[in-house]
Amino acid sequence: MKSRQLGLMHLVILLCLSVFAFSTHSAASQKDGLLKIYFFNVGQGDSIFIETPSGHQILIDGGPGGKVLSKLGGVMPFYDKNINLVVMTHPDADHASGLVEVLEKYEVENVVFSDIESEKALYLAWKELVEKEGANIIDPILGKIIDLGDGVILHIIYPSESLTGQRFDKTNNNSIVAMLDYKDLEVLLTGDIEVKGERAILIEGVDVDADILKIAHHGSKTSSMEEFLSAVSPEVAVIQVGAENRYSHPTEEVLKRLDDFGIKYYRNDLDGDIKITSDGNSFIIN
Query: What does the binding site for Zn ion look like in residue numbers (CB under 5 A)?
Result: 94, 192
Query: In sequence order, what are the residues at sequence separation of 6 or more whose Cβ sits closer than 8 angstroms to the Cβ of residue 128?
Result: none
In the complex, least distance from residue 48 CB atom to Zn ion, rounded to whole angstroms: 12
Exposure of 208 by Cβ count < 10 A (0-12 exposed, 13-18 middle, 19+ buried)? buried
Three-state SS string over the chain comes to CCCCCCCHHHHHHHHCCEEEECCCCCCCCCCCCCEEEEECCCCCCCCEEEECCCCCEEEECCCCCCHHHHHHHHHCCCCCCEEEEEECCCCCHHHHHHHHHHHHHCEEEEEECCCCECCCHHHHHHHHHHHHHCCEEECCCCCEEEEEECCEEEEEEECCCCCCCCECCCCHHHCCEEEEEECCEEEEECCCCCHHHHHHHHHHCCCCCCCEEECHHHHCCCCCCHHHHHHHCCCEEEECCCCCCCCCCCCHHHHHHHHHCCCEEEEHHHHCCEEEEECCCCEEEC
In the complex, least distance from residue 190 CB atom to Zn ion, rounded to whole angstroms: 10
In the complex, least distance from residue 4 CB atom to Zn ion, rounded to whole angstroms: 28
Q: Which is nearer to Zn ion, 94 or 211 (CB)?
A: 94
Q: Which is nearer to Zn ion, 101 or 192 (CB)?
A: 192
Q: Which is nearer to Zn ion, 80 or 94 (CB)?
A: 94
In the complex, least distance from residue 207 CB atom to Zn ion, rounded to whole angstroms: 25
- CB-CB contact of 58 with 152 (8 Å): no
In the complex, least distance from residue 14 CB atom to Zn ion, rounded to whole angstroms: 32
Q: Which is nearer to Zn ion, 64 or 143 (CB)?
A: 64
Q: Which is nearer to Zn ion, 53 or 63 (CB)?
A: 63
Q: Which is nearer to Zn ion, 180 or 241 (CB)?
A: 241
Q: Which is nearer to Zn ion, 130 or 215 (CB)?
A: 215
In the complex, least distance from residue 64 CB atom to Zn ion, rounded to whole angstroms: 9
Q: Which is nearer to Zn ion, 192 or 269 (CB)?
A: 192
In the complex, least distance from residue 247 CB atom to Zn ion, rounded to whole angstroms: 9
In the complex, least distance from residue 12 CB atom to Zn ion, rounded to whole angstroms: 29
How large is the angle between the packed helices 67-75 and 93-105, nearest 10 degrees?
Answer: 60
